Amino acid sequence: MRNPSVRPFQDFSTGAACLNKSFIYNYTCGKNQTHISFPYLSLTSFSCRCSATMAAEEKQMQRFDVEKAASLMKELRNNYNSRKTKSYEWRMSQIQSIANMIEEKEEEIIEAIHKDLSKPPFETFISEISMTKSSCKLALKELKYWTKPEKAKTSLTTYPSSAEIISEPLGVVLVISTWNYPFLLSLDPVIGAIAAGNAVVLKPSEIAPATSSLLAKLLEDYVDNSAVRVVEGAVAETSALLEQKWDKIFYTGSPRVGRIVMAAAAKHLTPVILELGGKSPAVVDSTINLQVTTRRIIAGKWMANNGQACIGVDYIITTKDFAPKLIDSLRNELKEFFGKNPMESKDLSRIVNPFHFARLASLLDEDKVSDKIVYGGQRDEKQLKIAPTILLDVPDDSTIMKEEIFGPLLPIVTVSIVSSAHFKLKACF
């Protein structure tokens, strides 16, 4: 309770602190007195609106748009033109810093990837941490050789001149990474770009937000930010980056987005590396060691991020008479890998997000496919988990056979004879 004339705007700025207070107004005219009391609710509401407006304006200022992308490119271009990134010592120091970062922050990296994919720690160590360490180790060992001029032969017409090939950095490069191996597939091309003497911008995948955020934080702390930057965000931020004239773009992801990246690069004649998906079959005949083959298929399919890997087995081609034996072997070995109820296994990654869960579910629910399941098929939308699933003889024109599966579904296509004359390897681009 207080007089409104005493600093009435002090509480106006404190938001929720005003909720339990009242605004008192006393009016006296002769013998008549009026007492008006009302809560600060309207003031608090106004304060909230002010705060929301200020927050929106601040967010607008922080948004990474084409103008900020151009400013970033200009800054990195100037720093690259200073030739600091070309020095052998700079390259070595940056790669060594990344190696130190991985060593010192291993637990944080494992935790972030587990948040994004529920990927088992051992799988993360093998497929992401150790492989990124190997990339650092290789670059540190071979960089002096890679930068060494290479003598080249000359023709008689240029006698008595001599020639050599000198490897030069391209300039400022853009790396757009993907979500299924969010650490390895972000840093591996960055290490290569630094080793080549380039300035580099990394755009991690927003579908793996914990890893993206960690990469932004760690690289800011460990490497030279005048030449190596991380830009977080989604479509808007990526589009802003693609408007710029890069000296090279390295993209890992889907063919659909790959087309967008290539079209944007074509405007500036920017060279592009696209690491895209496709259909990658395993061809199995009756002469193989069945147990060894089965275990390798399981490792290449479900132990590789639960099928969410471009190098994983997409489908199997085998003969009609051998298919039952192969399916029985897969059933038995899957129980050895993931137990009787794989949905409860801690060694099986979840599907990355609801969109991809729904996409995979739609592949299974298609009328011409739903009755082809011979093993698995269980799913839990709440946990974003789909069990290892085997399908037999799905129609060739079904969606699951027309696009990259990128999940724990494994169709088996049977043929009379395993021969290139009897089946067509499918790719989708």
Q: List active site positions.
A: 275, 310
Q: At what angle do helices 88-104 and 106-117 cross, to 10 degrees?
A: 70
| Contact call for residues 169 and 78 (beta carbons, < 8 A) | no
What token pair was written down for 58? 């601040």
Q: What is the CA radius of gyration of the chain?
A: 29
Neighbours of 212 (CB within 10 A): 25
CA dist list (Å): 118 to 180, 208, 284, 306, 345: 11, 11, 31, 10, 11
Q: How far is CA 121 from CA 109, 115, 127, 147, 318, in A?
A: 10, 11, 10, 36, 34
The alpha carbon dihedral of 139, 144, 147, 150 has a sign of negative
Beta bridge partners of 165: 150
Q: Which of 362, 359, 340 is nearest to 351 (CA)?
A: 359
C-beta atoms surrounding 150 within 10 Å: 10
Amino acid at 399: T
